[in-house]
């Protein structure tokens, strides 16, 4: 266990009104929960204690977490269990595809725990899931949110990109200064290179990344992360409020106001991101389908405008 997780914690701050959500009670929530149980699928919605689970599951939107529910890392912000994972489930790709078909998903988000114990970091399971989804629900657009594939990044990313997801997401999570305490098993610039490598391999794939606010980052540090992301040609930025899962996790340094999130979002758009989602409750997969459709429409409009300009000049 890292020093941050084991050191004494100050009393947890009271959540402001803008961060509170109602407990999930709808019929749709119950049906989604039961489907995940029936197919023996894990979701980051539950494992990471997402505050939007009630809204998303009511709409039959769930972010499936493959490769088990035990992570080989111990990040100070994350609520997923840490330890030695079980063997990879060979039926998992078909179960994910079955869930997508039964829920009638137009867009699906697939993420995973870190699996540093596997030779490829779990990349082959991502590939199998993408292939199963293409067979079962060919019209469903696919967004993946992968770990950093430490020490095996290039080969892992190359295999996944070849499978053809529509969106490749990998979260930077926070500013470089806070990595040693918040994300000690990862490296900031390695994560940037991962997303840059995706674009180099296939520019048609949308790239996406997110950071949490409220961990003690400074405003100019956040601006620098935006610049670094744009240098890596990242298309989509998400920004949300960090919430402390348990007293053992990193403390909330600040509850960032909705107005401050709006200001960050405006700056990000000015820097050239195709799509920006910035609010206290924003998470990587929150409204992911709607955001993807907007981002795709924006790119198509830009390409059409460029083609018209070239034709007029030619």
Give, in order, the Cα–Cα distances in Å from 148 to each of 145, 157, 209: 10, 9, 12
Quickly tell me which residue has 């997402």 as its tokens: 50
Q: What is the pLDDT of residue 1?
A: 39
Considering the entire predicted model, what is its pTM? 0.88
The CA-atom distances, in angstroms, between 135 and each of 29, 86, 98, 165, 187 are 27, 27, 11, 13, 36
Asked if 289 contacts 107 with a C-beta cutoff of 8 angstroms, the reply is yes
pLDDT at 28: 66
Q: φ and ψ at 312, to 5 degrees? A: -70, -30
Q: Is residue 16 part of a domain?
A: no
Assess contact for 11 and 28: CB atoms under 8 A: no
Phi, psi of 109 (to 5 degrees): -115, 130
User: d(Cα 111, Cα 128) in Å, to the nearest integer?
Assistant: 13
Residue 187 has a CB neighbour count (10 Å cut-off) of: 14
Q: Is residue 2 part of a domain?
A: no
Task: Tell me if 107 is assigned to some domain.
Answer: yes
CA 279, CA 29: separation in Å to the nearest integer?
Answer: 23
55 found inside a domain: yes
Instruction: Round to whole Å and give the CA distance between 308 and 314.
Output: 10
Q: Is residue 271 part of a domain?
A: yes
Round to whole Å and give the CA distance between 85 and 67.
8
Say if 7 falls within a structural domain: no
Considering the domain boundaries, does residue 98 fall inside one? yes
pLDDT tens-place values along the chain, 314 residues long = 344 444 444 455 678 887 766 656 667 667 777 877 877 777 766 655 666 566 665 665 678 899 999 999 989 988 888 999 999 999 999 999 998 898 888 899 999 999 999 999 999 999 999 999 999 999 999 999 999 999 999 999 999 999 999 999 999 999 999 999 999 999 999 999 999 999 999 999 999 999 999 999 999 999 999 999 999 999 999 999 999 988 999 999 999 999 999 999 999 999 999 999 999 999 888 788 889 999 999 999 999 998 888 888 87
Closest CA to 159 of 130, 139, 135, 118: 130
Beta strand pairing call for 206-213 and 275-278:
unpaired
283 to 134, 240, 277: CA distances (angstroms): 25, 6, 9
| Sequence-ordered list of residues with C-beta below 8 angstroms from that of 165, at least 6 positions apart, any chain | 130, 142, 143, 144, 205
Tell me what pLDDT residue 41 has.
76
Ramachandran angles phi, psi of 143, nearest 5°: -120, 130
The dihedral through the CA atoms of 165, 206, 211, 29 has a sign that is negative
Indicate the number of domains in the chain: 1
Q: CA 269, CA 245: separation in Å to the nearest integer?
A: 30
| Cβ partners under 8 Å of residue 231, min gap 6 | 192
Say what the pLDDT of residue 29 is: 67
For 200, the token pair is 């180099």
Q: Is residue 163 part of a domain?
A: yes
The CATH number assigned to the domain holding 66 equals: 3.20.20.70
Domain residues for 214?
21-313
What tokens appear for 98 in the block?
A: 């079955």
């Amino acid at each position: 266990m890292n020093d941050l997780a084991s050191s004494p914690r100050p009393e947890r701050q009271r959540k402001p009104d803008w961060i509170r959500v109602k407990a999930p009670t709808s019929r749709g929530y119950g049906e989604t929960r039961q489907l995940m149980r029936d197919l023996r699928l894990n979701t980051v919605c539950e494992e990471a204690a997402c505050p939007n689970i009630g809204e998303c599951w009511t709409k039959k939107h769930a972010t499936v977490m493959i490769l088990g529910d035990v992570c080989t890392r111990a990040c100070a912000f994350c609520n997923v269990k840490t330890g030695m994972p079980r063997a990879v489930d060979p039926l998992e790709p078909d179960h994910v595809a079955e869930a997508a078909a039964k829920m009638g998903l137009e867009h699906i988000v697939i993420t995973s725990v870190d699996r540093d114990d596997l030779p490829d970091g779990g990349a082959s399971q991502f590939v199998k899931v993408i292939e199963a989804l293409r067979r079962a629900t060919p019209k469903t657009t696919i967004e993946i949110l992968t770990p950093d594939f430490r020490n095996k990044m290039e080969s892992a990313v190359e295999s996944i990109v070849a499978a053809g997801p529509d969106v490749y997401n990998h979260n930077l999570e926070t500013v470089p200064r806070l990595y040693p305490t918040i994300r000690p098993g990862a490296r900031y610039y390695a994560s940037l290179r991962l997303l840059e490598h995706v674009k180099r391999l296939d520019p048609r794939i949308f790239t996406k990344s997110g950071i949490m606010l409220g961990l003690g980052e400074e405003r100019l540090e956040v601006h620098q992360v935006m610049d670094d992301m744009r240098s890596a040609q990242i298309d989509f930025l998400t920004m949300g409020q960090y919430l402390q899962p348990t007293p053992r996790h990193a403390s909330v340094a600040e509850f960032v106001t909705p107005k401050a999130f709006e200001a960050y979002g405006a700056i990000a758009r000015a820097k050239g991101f195709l799509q920006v989602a910035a609010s206290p409750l924003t998470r990587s997969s929150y409204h992911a389908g709607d955001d993807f459709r907007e981002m795709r429409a924006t790119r198509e409009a830009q390409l059409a405008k460029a083609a018209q300009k070239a034709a007029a000049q030619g």
